[in-house]
Amino acid sequence: MASLLDTMERRLADLDAASLRRSLQPPRGLDLSSNDYLGLASHPAWVAGIQRRLAEQGTDPRAAVASPASRLLRGNTERHMALEARLAAWKGTSAALLFTSGFQANVGLLSTVVEGRDRVISDIANHASLIDGLRLARCRKVLVPHLDLDAIERALASEGPAGGRTFLLTESLYSMDGDIAPLDVYAELCERYGAELIIDDSHATGIYGEKRGSGLCEHFAVADRALAVVSTFGKALVSSGGFVAGSQVLIDYLVNRCRAFIFTTAAPPLHLYAVEAALDLVEAEPQRRQRVLELATTLRRRLRQGGLDCLGSRGPIVPVWVGDAERSLAVAAQLQDEGFDVRAIRPPTVPTGGARLRLSVHADHRPEDLDHLAERLLAILPAAVRANAP
């Protein structure tokens, strides 16, 4: 039998041959690939907000970065709990619980609340962390085509598992397609068929929600109709970490039963300051969310008018369909050489044959830079995509 490392090497070579091998690249050029939709990472007030909090804590840096225990031991502070209360009020639920990443939040939540005898109706485009959470839950999975309401209703109406519950699992703003799930319709269907709704609101957090900017659960007024709403800080809030928002009972249950919460170290205070400072800015500058949506709409309109396929996208994520993985890499490389940090998204992140460029529009992008990007894309891509058409 080949050695394990030889096997790995061969598999990497296979990925290479299929243009599917990944490698880590530092950022270069205009940022069109991070999820800093509101442009907070380079906002002086965000940094100032963190610095002010650091100064308030005194001069000992350990007070900001030390995190010597899990929340259930000495890792918990008043500050963690205050942030959770703020997040719950912001999302419109009665409680919330911090996790060290959005991935952990999804895996932890699903592996705790979904049990082996349950079935989960899950959109085929759901994020890897949702899929892995279901794997850990060892439940029955019913995969439905992306945003297919009929398929969802058919699945909900079909007989559920004896002695088990049914869940509907969805993202709100889809990360690779940039389209939006009709959460109000989902909530109604779940109520009609007695199913539990779980929503990953990660990409919409900070962008949607007319009043508070807390996400699409606010926009569709469904936060209190879902069992749980999950979000990450790693998109518009430009920090690391994530949280689950829901009823007090759900959060108490997670504190007692969720292994991804119980058996891990608490976030250090510095992370909390970063999130607090980002939340302050979402509150203080609602015009940022309006601006990013306007910029994305203009870019999308130009690309579509030029014949490119931006799928069903509506928000700050503008996918541009290419199809072939190798071609998507070549186009991304050309754009990078021209100063645009555009990345190709390839399988297995997207389905086979569905490679695309994923443009992430930010509130602080200059319209002239996006115009120039559109011009270059329209010069490079239509021929490439046509050549690739089936």
| Piece in contact with ligand PLP (CB under 6 A), picked from 100-108, 134-142, 186-194, 274-282 | 100-108
Examine the residue annotation and report whether 280 is marked as an active-site residue of this protein.
no
Q: Which two tokens stand for residue 13?
A: 């070579």
C-alpha triplet 221, 277, 274: angle, nearest 5°: 105
SS3 content of the chain, % helix, strand, coil (to 5): 50, 15, 35
* Residue 33 sits in the site that holds ligand PLP (CB under 6 A): no
Write the CA distances from 129 to 13, 123, 274, 279, 325, integer angstroms. 26, 13, 23, 24, 23
Runs of H (alpha helix) within the chain: 4-17, 44-56, 62-65, 78-91, 102-113, 128-137, 149-157, 183-193, 216-219, 248-257, 259-262, 269-284, 287-305, 325-337, 367-388
Catalytic residue among 80, 91, 219, 235: 235
Residues of this chain, 171-190, that bind ligand PLP according to CB under 6 A: 171, 175
Decide whether 233 or 327 has the Cβ nearer to ligand PLP. Answer: 233
Distances (CA, A) of 35 to 158, 177, 198, 234, 371: 38, 14, 22, 7, 20
Active-site residue identified among 35, 122, 126, 328: 35
214-to-57, 210, 282, 384 alpha-carbon distances in Å: 28, 9, 9, 39
80 catalytic, yes or no? Answer: no
Is 171 or 285 the residue whose CB approaches ligand PLP more closely? 171
**CB of 93 or CB of 202, closer to ligand PLP:** 202
Number of residues that bind ligand PLP (CB under 6 A): 14
Closest contact distance (angstroms) between CB of 62 and ligand PLP is 25
175 is catalytic: yes
33, 129, 170, 336: which one binds ligand PLP (CB under 6 A): 129
| 101 near ligand PLP (CB under 6 A) | yes
- Taking the least distance from each CB to ligand PLP, the nearer of 177 and 285 is 177
Whether the Cβ atoms of residue 265 and residue 75 lie closer than 8 Å to each other: yes
319 near ligand PLP, rule: CB under 6 A: no
Does residue 200 carry a catalytic annotation? Answer: yes
Q: Using an 8 Å Cβ cutoff, are 34 and 203 in contact?
A: no
Binder among 103, 243, 273, 340 for ligand PLP (CB under 6 A): 103
Q: Which is nearer to ligand PLP, 175 or 313 (CB)?
A: 175
Instruction: For residue 84, give both structure tokens.
Output: 């959770």
Q: Spell out, one character per residue from 224 to 253, where the chain touches ligand PLP: x when CB under 6 A holds, - when not.
A: --------x-x-------x-----------
Number of helices followed by number of strands (H, E) in the chain: 15, 12
Structure tokens at 32: 């069109």
Please pick, among 36, 123, 200, 201, the residue that the annotation labels catalytic.
200
**Strand partners of residue 173:** 180
Residues of span 154-173 touching ligand PLP by CB under 6 A: 171
Catalytically annotated residues: 35, 127, 171, 175, 200, 203, 235
* Site residues, ligand PLP (CB under 6 A): 101-103, 106, 127, 129, 171, 175, 200, 202-203, 232, 234, 242
